[in-house]
Amino acid sequence: MSQSVLALVATGGTIAMQHDPSKGGNVPALDGADLLKLVGGPETAVAVELLDWERLPAVQRGPDGMWDLRSRLAELAEDPMTVGIVVTHGTDTMAEMAYLTRRTVPPRCPIVFTGAMRTSSDPAWDGPRNLHDAVAVATARESQQRGAMVVFAGLILDGRHAVKMHTGAIDAFGAPHATPLGQVGADGVVFVDRPHSAPCVAAKDCMARVPLIPLALGDDGALLDLARPTGDGVVIAAYGRGNVPPKALPAIERWLAEGKPVVLASQCPAGEVGPDYAFEGGGATVLALGVVPAGRRNAAQARLELILSLSAGVPYAVEG
- The DSSP bridge pattern shows strands 188-191 and 212-214 to be unpaired
- Give the pLDDT of residue 43: 78
Number of H helices, E strands in the chain: 8, 16
Domains of the chain, residue spans: 5-191, 212-312
CATH of span 5-191: 3.40.50.1170
- Pick the catalytic residue from 11, 14, 44, 88: 14
Tens-digit pLDDT string for the chain (320 aa): 467 999 999 999 999 999 999 999 999 999 999 999 999 877 788 899 999 999 999 999 999 999 999 999 999 999 999 999 999 999 999 999 999 999 999 999 999 999 999 999 999 999 999 999 999 999 999 999 999 999 999 999 999 999 999 999 999 999 999 999 999 999 999 999 889 878 899 999 999 999 999 999 999 999 999 999 999 999 999 999 999 999 999 999 999 999 999 999 999 999 999 999 999 999 999 999 999 999 999 999 999 999 999 999 999 999 86
**Looking at the DSSP assignment, which residues form a beta bridge with residue 28?**
17
CATH of span 212-312: 3.40.50.40
Nearest to 307 by CA among 263, 268, 244: 263
Do 5-191 and 212-312 have matching folds? yes
DSSP structural state of residue 252: H
Catalytic annotation present for 14: yes
- Give the pLDDT of residue 168: 96
Quick check: 120 and 30 in contact, CB under 8 A? yes
Quick check: 189 and 181 in contact, CB under 8 A? no
- Give the pLDDT of residue 201: 96
